[in-house]
């Protein structure tokens, strides 16, 4: 008799079957593109040829596959994983087949995540806000849009944009440049140092009505 504490399904098997069954066979390169990682790396994980990545990346990989750590634990012990995933796939109605996997992910709130786990901070002590704060304010208060939509605006993968907003990785120079263009300024200092970021952006964009929110949330 098999030890009940011994996993019956490997990580690679779970990832592969999740992609093929509830994901309706979504191509591996599709998943890799949304994670902004090489396809060979994801294939190595699915084939159990690579060790688990660091916790941050692993959490994002699971999120993209529609998994959580708790669900992964359950699936590892499931003696009939294929049947379980087929039932799950019917309930989910093939969501992973969406054109952009990022649109069906329940992205964690970047404000809370940045406050708790953020590792990127501004070097100038006079700064009250960060580039991430400006991006988040524009996305939530002015554009009322999703992480994937914002990521397309700035030309990066959804997972990269989310990490920028969550203060997990530095804001790239091209996005800083895009912010300056969006706000019609050569210097973002006034927005970094203001005590009321929403008001500062509202005043700056007052002459461009299409950029203004219908109401403040």
Between residues 68 and 187, the one the model is more confident about: 187
Task: Give the span between the Cα atoms of 216 and 200, in whole angstroms.
Answer: 13
One domain, residues 122 and 84:
no
pLDDT per residue over 167-189, tens digit each? 888 899 999 999 999 999 999 99
- Give the CATH number, domain containing residue 123: 1.10.260
**Domain final residue pick, 51, 73, 104:** 104
Contact 140, 193 (CB under 8 A): no
Range of the domain at 98: 11-104
Task: Confirm whether 30 is domain-assigned.
Answer: yes
Mean pLDDT of the chain: 82
Residue 3: predicted pLDDT: 52
DSSP annotation of 215: S
Task: Give the span between the Cα atoms of 1 and 22, in whole angstroms.
Answer: 31
Task: Confirm whether 217 is domain-assigned.
Answer: no
Task: Give the span between the Cα atoms of 63 and 11, in whole angstroms.
Answer: 14
Task: Confirm whether 133 is domain-assigned.
Answer: yes
One domain, residues 119 and 98:
no
Q: What total of structural domains would you count in the chain?
A: 2
One domain, residues 135 and 189:
yes
One domain, residues 122 and 85:
no
Q: What is the pTM of this model?
A: 0.58
């Amino acid at each position: 008799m098999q030890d009940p504490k011994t996993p019956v399904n490997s990580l690679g098997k779970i990832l592969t079957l999740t992609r093929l069954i509830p994901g309706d066979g979504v191509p591996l390169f599709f998943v890799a593109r949304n994670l902004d990682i090489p396809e060979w790396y994801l294939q190595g994980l699915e084939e159990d040829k690579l060790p688990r990545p660091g916790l941050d990346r692993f959490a994002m990989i699971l999120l993209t596959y529609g998994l959580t750590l708790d669900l992964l634990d359950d699936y590892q012990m499931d003696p009939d994983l294929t049947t379980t995933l087929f039932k799950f796939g019917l309930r989910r109605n093939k969501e992973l087949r969406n054109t952009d996997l990022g649109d069906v992910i329940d992205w964690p709130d970047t404000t809370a995540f940045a406050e708790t786990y953020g590792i990127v901070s501004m070097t100038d002590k006079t700064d009250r806000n960060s580039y991430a704060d400006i991006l988040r304010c524009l996305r939530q208060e002015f554009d009322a849009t999703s992480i994937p939509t914002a990521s397309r605006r700035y030309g990066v993968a959804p997972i990269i944009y989310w990490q920028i907003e969550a203060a997990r990785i530095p804001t790239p120079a091209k996005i800083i440049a895009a912010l300056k263009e969006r706000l019609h300024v050569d210097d973002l200092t006034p927005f970094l140092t203001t005590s009321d970021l929403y008001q500062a952006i509202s005043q700056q964009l007052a002459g461009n009505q299409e950029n203004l929110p219908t109401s403040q949330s």
